Amino acid sequence: MSAITIKPIARHHGLFLCLLGSLILTCCLFASYYLWQQARLPLMTTILIAIIILFIGLLKYSEPQHSFILTPEKFIYAHRYGQWQLTWPQISYIKQISETQGFEYHQLPYIGIRLKRLTDIASNISPRLASRLLHEQRPLLAFCLRYQLITLAQATINFDAYITSKNNKGAVKNITITGPVAAFLHHSETLQQALGYHLYIPESALDRDIDNFVSLLKNCHSSSQYYGK
């Protein structure tokens, strides 16, 4: 398996929108020099639209060039606020998030990743990204709250230290994790208890539909296990 890079949908047309917004804004500013008194309202409206187009383009263009890098050894997720990475053996299961509540079946626009050990992500995620994901994944907590999969207390960000243990040559040593990463670990633990997965990848980070992307990740996962033998 060779390295695979994925360009996110969220980045598509970013440069085009930047150029389009800049062109419209330039034309409006030039026209306003001669026509401001006669066409003030249309010009102001068009300038506002141009600024919005330019802003959206800049947001898209600021996304990482690649949202995923898949190698035989690692799975790397890149975000504008940082990245996390895992080795394939650290991953237990990959699937689109779905829930059945009574007669209702819900497919959420996320891919779920279940880890063999949650603490494997602790040293492999940037604190800035950990902090950002706490806020970006609020819709998942809202869904869990709506269907009573978690309590209101569990949906609140937990800033307590996260304490785990590590076996080092037969001696058990407690490890204390603090800061945004600790809050993210508590958050991931809560979502795992409710939905069954530790990490969540939004559909906007993908370059294809969720089913096809899940198949790609599963193929990479199984290939890496074979590769490592």
Going from N- to C-terminal start, the domains of the chain cover: 4-61, 89-227
Backbone angles phi, psi at 169, to 5 degrees: 55, 45
Cα dihedral sign, 36-39-40-42: negative
Tally Cβ neighbours within 10 Å of residue 149: 19
pTM across the whole model? 0.76
Report the C-alpha gap between 73 and 130 in whole angstroms: 23
pLDDT by 10-residue block (mean), the chain, 229 residues: 71 70 83 77 84 78 75 88 91 88 82 92 92 93 91 91 73 80 94 94 86 90 66
> How many CA atoms lie within 13 Å of 196's alpha carbon, on the beta-carbon side?
12
Length of the chain equals 229
> Residues 59-76: pLDDT tens digits?
766 666 778 889 888 999
How confident is the model at residue 229, as a pLDDT?
46
Which value, in Å, is the radius of gyration of the alpha carbons in the chain?
Answer: 22
**Residue type at position 172:** V
CA angle 134, 116, 205 (to 5 degrees): 45
What residues contact 118, with CB distance under 8 A and at least 6 apart? 185, 188, 189, 192, 198
How confident is the model at residue 112, as a pLDDT?
94
How confident is the model at residue 63, as a pLDDT?
67
Report the C-alpha gap between 205 and 110 in whole angstroms: 10
Backbone angles phi, psi at 62, to 5 degrees: -80, -10
